Structure 1
Amino acid sequence: MWDLHRLRLLHELRLRETVTAVARTLNYSPSSVSAQLAKLEDEVGVPLFEPDGRRIRLTAHGRRIARHAAQVLDLEEGVRSELESTRPIEETVRVATLETAGRALLPRALTRLRGTAPHLRVEAAVVPPETGLTELEARGFDLAVAEQYPGHTRAHRDRLDREALGTDPVRLTVPEGSGIRHLSETAGLPWIMEPEGTAARYWTVQQCRAAGFEPDIRFDSADLEIHVHLVRAGHAVSLLPDLVWTGNTDGIRLIGLPGPSHRELFTSARRAAASRPAIRTVRTALREAFADVNTPA
């Protein structure tokens, strides 16, 4: 019988690639992780690791056992979900959310849950969708709120499901006194965008190029409040989703974009855990919160 805890460590190593990253994620020492992985290799009876410079990497056998480990962990989680359906909802759901959903949807969802599931504990962290989905697959979260843009669909992951929340329009955001009427008129102006590597950054750059210019990106920030403040002060322009606005667009003018100009928001959970009553309850609260949000016309 292979030890389930050690299989979890092997699964984490496949996802995170280094013993140090596994140890940091699970709050173990690297030496402890290495020792447990060595014991698993003895239990399995075939080489699971091979040197890769100062690190180790999985052998073909190691990759195969890691895939098996993921299936075993999913099976265990599925059984737990079935058992939880017979008990009152008194557990914790860990949610990874992008910033705008954390600001506009999470408070409303928590208010609903206070009435519908008072014993449910929700823990949430604001992280980029790229991080949230990876950590969800690695069991760092139970639910993730993510986004995707027209022409930039996120890769589907076999072990994760996806449920739509809805669409969120994205508009050109300029200072209130600006005479700008069209995206093409922002050529040569300073831009603020989300950090390099994000879907929002990629999509915004593509919109500018489609309008006939290369954007002058002088600022980047994952904090969209900084975008708002710089635009309001007349130091930049930006493309921002409507969920940024919670009823206050003072000093700001919003301009529609040509073509498909919205992002799709969705929740994602591990398929093995998606039937958990607690996860279904949180998803329902988020959907209802999205339906309630008032965005600018």
Structure 2
Amino acid sequence: MLDVNRLRLLVELSRRGTLSAVADALSYSKASVSQQLSTLEREVGVPLLRRVGRGVQFTAQGNVLVAQAIGILDRLEQAEVAVAESLTEVTGTVRIAVFQTAAHSLLPPALLALQEQHPSLRVDVAECDPETSLDGVASRDFDLMLAEQYPERTRPINTDLDRVVLTHDAIALARRPGSPPAQNPAAALWSTREEPWVLEPAGTASRAWAEQLCRTAGFEPEVHFEVADLTTHIRLIRAGLAVGLLPELVWAGDAPTVDITGLPGSPRREIFSSARRVSAAAPSIRAVRQALADAAAVILPD
């Protein structure tokens, strides 16, 4: 009988492309991944991979087995969901990947509610960027992820994952307390054209969106600070060292400590969760999603 863990390695190789990427994602050594896949080939009795330069390529039989392995892994997960649904208590472990502002604002009240409502449920949390989180859910490293999507920017669609919108939060221009008022949002944004800016690092969705916003307004932001941590953004802005853009969720329902001005068009960021379709009906995942929705409704009431 074929080993399920080796089948998972084969599926991961089909998704990630290289042995090194599989090893890094699953905390194996590259040699161990190669050895396990060689063992799988011996179990099947035919070559599944062929060497191409420094990489590998699937044989026709390898592609057939990948398709079957995906179905096997899905059916095993469906069996786990069916057992969980037969219980009267929500139990098990849900592994969540979250981005920073969701971890700061939504998680604490949601986790407290889950402790009270479902004491036998365990929730493990890891902070990850949304791109890593999406891959992690698809690869079964996580069961659920929270991600952000900026206006007019889309993330890759994975048909194996669902998508549930949790809430929306406004994005605003943030300046030091006591900044002079502007006639309108467009004038406020234009007034920062010669100011030092703090933005998230290049390559992030928020950075690309912020730069495009400024370019549409007619200027290139003078980025003096590239920082992923939004708490640092707040401190730099509050000290008068920079201006920036902050999402409403960063305040976790508290009053802002910097000057906040709306932006042209009143843009809002979408917060959503994704789970594998085969496991989305699990009582544990439904419970976590409900707790997060309840927390969002309190922090960002419509």
Q: Is the structural similarity TM-score above 0.5?
A: yes
Q: CA deviation at 1:125?
A: 1.0
In structure 2, the residue matched to 1:134 is 135
Q: Deviations over 1:242-271 (max 9, x none)?
A: 011131423x10010111511010111000
Matched, 1:237 2:243: yes
User: 2:265 aligned with 1:259, yes or no?
Assistant: yes
Q: Give the match's secondary structure for 2:191.
A: helix
Determine the C-alpha separation between the residues in 2 that align with 1:105 and 1:28: 33
* Pairwise CA distance, 1:127: 1.1
Aligned 8 A contact 1:150 1:260 in 2 = no
The amino acid that maps onto 1:185 is: S
Q: Comparing 208-217 with 102-111, which one deviates more in the overlay?
A: 208-217
State how 1:58-69 maps to structure 2 within 5 Å.
58-59=58-59, 61-69=61-69
Alpha-carbon RMSD: 1.9
State how 1:93-104 maps to structure 2 within 5 Å.
93-104=94-105
Residue of structure 2 in register with 1:249 after alignment: 256
Distance 1:230 1:288 in 2: 32
In the alignment, the residues of structure 2 paired with residue 269 and residue 172 of structure 1 have an alpha-carbon distance, to the nearest angstrom, of 33
Q: Which residue of 2 aligns with 1:38?
A: 38
User: Do residues 282 (structure 1) and 288 (structure 2) align?
Assistant: yes
Which residue number corresponds to residue 19 of structure 1?
19
Deviation at 1:167, TM superposition (A): 0.6
For normalisation by structure 1, the TM-score amounts to 0.93
Residue 74 of structure 1, CA deviation: 1.4
Q: What 5-or-longer segments of structure 2 have no aligned partner?
A: 183-187
Unaligned runs of 5+ in 1: none
Residues 94-103 or 47-56, more deviating: 47-56
Q: Distance in 1 between matches of 2:69 and 2:200?
A: 36
Q: 1:61 to 1:202 in 2, by over 3 A?
A: farther
Give 3-state SS (helix, strand or coil) of 1:123's partner.
strand
Alignment of 1:109-120 (within 5 A): 109-120=110-121
Matched, 1:75 2:81: no
| Aligned partners of 1:130 and 1:198 also within 8 Å | no
Q: Any idea what SS the aligned residue of 1:186 has?
A: coil
| Aligned equivalents of 1:158, 1:64: Cα separation in 2 | 20
CA shift for structure 1 position 55: 3.4
User: Once structures 1 and 2 are overlaid, which stretch shifts more, 204-213 or 50-59?
Assistant: 50-59
Provide the C-alpha distance between the structure 2 equivalents of 1:201 and 1:62, rounded to a whole number of angstroms.
Answer: 40
Amino acid at match of 1:129: P
1:193 equivalenced with 2:199 (yes/no): yes
1:119: how far off?
0.9
Is the CA contact 1:180–1:186 (under 8 Å) kept in the aligned structure 2? no
Sort the Cα spacing of 1:213 and 1:67 in 2 relative to 1 into closer, same or farther, 3 A. farther
Deviations 1:24-51 (CA, angstroms, capped at 9, x unpaired): 4333333222111012223344432222
Given that residues 92 and 120 in structure 1 are in contact (C-alpha distance below 8 angstroms), is that contact kept between their aligned partners in structure 2?
Answer: yes
Any conservation in 2 of the 1:97–1:145 contact (CA below 8 Å)?
yes
Q: CA deviation at 1:61?
A: 4.3
CA distance in 2, matches of 1:248, 1:241: 13
Aligned AA (2:49): F
How far apart, in 1, do the equivalents of 2:26 and 2:127 lie? Answer: 19
C-alpha separation in 1, matches of 2:246 and 2:263? 11
Q: Which moved more, 1:84-93 or 1:60-69?
A: 60-69
Tell me, yes or no, if the aligned pair for 1:171 and 1:241 is still in contact at 8 Å.
yes
Deviates more, 1:160-169 or 1:44-53: 44-53
Q: Are 2:191 and 1:212 equivalent residues in the alignment?
A: no
CA distance in 2 between counterparts of 1:28 and 1:4 reads: 16
Q: Which amino acid aligns with 2:106?
A: L
Deviation at residue 120 of structure 1 after TM alignment = 0.5
SS of the counterpart of 2:157?
A: coil
| TM-score, with length taken from structure 2 | 0.91
- Alignment correspondent of 1:203: 209
Task: Return structure 1 stretches of 4+ with deviation > 6 angstroms.
Answer: none
Work out the percentage of aligned pairs sharing the same amino acid. 46
How many pairs align?
Answer: 295
